Amino acid sequence: MALPIETFFLSANHQGTLQSQVQQMIAHGILSGRFGCGEKLPSTRKLAMHLGISRITVTLAYTELVASDYLTARGRSGYYVSDNAPVPPVYQPQPQGSESVDWSRAIGQRFSGGQTLSKPKDWAQFRYPFIYGQTDPQLFDHANWRQCALQALGQRDFLALTEDYFDRDDPQLIEFIQRNSLPRRGIAANADQILITMGAQNALWLTAQVLLTQRRTAAFEDPCYPALREILTQSRCHMAPVRVDHKGLPPDAIPPQTDAIFTTPSHQCPTTTTMPMERRQALLDRARDLDALIIEDDYEFEMSFLAPPSPALKSMDADGRVIYVGSFSKSLFPGLRLGFLVGSEPFIREARALRASVLRHPPGHIQRTAAYFLSMGHYDAQIRRMGAALHARRLAMQAAIDAHGLEVAGVGGVGGSSFWMRAPVHTDTRQLATRLQEDSVLIEPGHAFFSGEDTPRNFYRLGYSSIPPARITEGIARIANVVAA
């Protein structure tokens, strides 16, 4: 029996090639049970005419499906659904009943309900998306990343793709970090002092789990990266938020009995302040006096296009008390989820064991792809391209902000991809953000960055990594109009 030609259609939202769309369309029909074993498919000529695509495209798609045993070719008769094609399971759905579990009692520890940053799922459809941390697809080197991914899929790298590393990491990626990434920050480390993580946030979680207990105290910046505060809350340690000033975290304000200090000295989150060298030394001295450890989150140091970045705090550490957190997700793309920890061997040993018990290791193929992208020079080229683009956008942002009388609360001295802003004191930026969304403008309210109940409500963040440069001036004008209303 031949399948009706009307059952074949291409999705308008599919992101792949025409050939992959045809393959997915037919495979989905088989897996969903719409196409049964032995049923005949339309000829390549008829299906090509029906879909309005090249016949060779359909032929190549059929050939791939034959190779994977979804279809079979029968001489001059045509193509049929293979007898060996996957058969969808047949089952009777269970009747929907009412649950009897009291989840308010059953849940032993709650992880939801904290202060987090959020954005609409369709944020890219907004005309003026001043949000932080998203990649502009025009700036990313898709072609070379794809080539590196294909190379990592080759026979030569088969073990990197398929082997269970257990508690180890890709040696090529470790070597690049050791010989290239860390020396740029003034850091020297051996391979046993480096651990690959699923992004910087995973690195912070591993660190908190290893170092903190219910009896220990963690000092952290206020305002800070909201996910860090949630991580510390989950660790059940004593939490000591320390309000930052125009130079970052003030060492003298760190309370006695502190065991761990979490800081972003190169580019404070979210104020963008860079900690001066003399304060960095004072912070190291304070940590030594307290016998505390310092966790340095060195996010976004690559985006130092206004001035050369200061050496990492870790590079000034003579006692081995600084644990360094790095990430490739900010400089490549956020969905990569690839970061690393650098610290003394006893700490890395425990973090490695914890990682192995929770997720084994980051996927080998992703690690090897990143290693190729980094080692072949594509990463450096991308950083230069992104730095130039962000510099131009920052100049446009600063000019528009000045022209419309908006107030910048934190002035980053080296670069980055955002402005920390202050609205008039009576303004609640959550309400401001809601009103701006109606005008196709996205901003990030600042309340989630602060700790405690009585926190400022008039701060907000404007990112410029995702907004087209030509729309910056109009977007800032719309923000200014609503702020002034």
User: What would the pLDDT profile of 165-194 be if each residue is shown by its tens digit?
Assistant: 778 899 999 999 999 889 989 999 999 999
Q: Taking the CA of residue 468 as centre, how many other CA atoms within 13 Å lie in the half-sphere pointing to its CB? A: 8
Cα→Cα distances 36→27, 28, 251, 319, Å: 11, 12, 70, 68
In sequence order, what are the beta bridge partners of 220? 241, 262
CA distances from 105 to 92, 100, 110, 236 (A): 32, 12, 11, 19
> Comparing C-alpha atoms, which of 249, 255, 260 is closest to residue 291?
260
Q: At what angle do helices 142-152 and 378-403 cross, to 10 degrees?
A: 150
- Using alpha carbons only, give the angle 306, 307, 311 rounded to the nearest 5 degrees: 140
**Contact present, 195 and 350 (Cβ < 8 Å):** no
From the list 390, 386, 397, 399, the residue with the least C-alpha distance to 420 is 397
Which regions of 143-268 does DSSP assign to beta strands (E)? 194-197, 217-222, 238-243, 260-263
Q: Give, as one character, the DSSP assignment of residue 467.
A: S
Strand, helix or coil at 36? coil
Eight-class DSSP state of 298:
-
Q: Which residues pair with 219 in a beta bridge?
A: 240, 261
Helix pair 55-67, 44-51: axis angle to 10 deg: 120
What per-residue confidence (pLDDT) applies to 33? 82
CA dist., res. 409 & res. 427, Å (int):
14
CB 458 within 8 A of CB 427: yes
Q: Is the pLDDT of residue 412 over 90?
A: no
The pLDDT, as a whole number, for residue 94 is 67
In 3D space, the residue among 250, 235, 245, 242 whose CA is nearest the CA of residue 204 turns out to be 235
What is the pLDDT at residue 290?
97
What is the mean pLDDT of the segment spanning 434-458?
Answer: 92
Q: What pLDDT score does 264 carry?
A: 95
**Is 195 a residue whose pLDDT tops 90?**
yes
- Structural contact between residues 214 and 228, judged by C-beta atoms closer than 8 angstroms: no
The answer, yes or no, to whether residue 124 has pLDDT greater than 80, is: yes
Structural contact between residues 132 and 448, judged by C-beta atoms closer than 8 angstroms: no
Selection from 463, 200, 177 nearest residue 326 by Cα: 200
DSSP of 403-445, one letter per residue?
HTT-EEEE--SS--SEEEEE--TT--HHHHHHHHHTTTEE-EE
Question: What is the per-residue pLDDT across 221-262, written as a single tens digit (0 to 9) for each?
Answer: 999 999 999 999 999 999 999 999 999 999 999 999 999 999
Which residues, other chains included, contact 120 with Cβ-Cβ below 8 Å and sequence gap of 6+? 126, 437, 442
Count CA atoms within 13 Å of residue 162 on its CB side.
7
What is the average pLDDT across 295-303?
82
C-beta of residue 13 within 8 angstroms of C-beta of residue 21: no
Nearest residue to 62 (alpha-carbon basis) of 14, 16, 32, 25:
25
Cα–Cα distances (Å) from 151 to 103, 122, 148, 180, 366, in that order, read: 48, 33, 5, 21, 11
- Give the pair of three-digit tokens for residue 403: 């022209």
CB neighbour list of residue 423: distance below 8 Å, 6 or more residues apart: 407, 429, 432, 458, 459, 460, 483
Burial zone of 106 (CB within 10 Å; 0-12 exposed, 13-18 middle, 19+ buried): exposed
Residue 75 — very low, low, confident or very high, per pLDDT cuts 50/70/90? confident
Indicate whether 373 pLDDT > 70: yes
Average pLDDT, the chain: 88
State the pLDDT at residue 91: 65
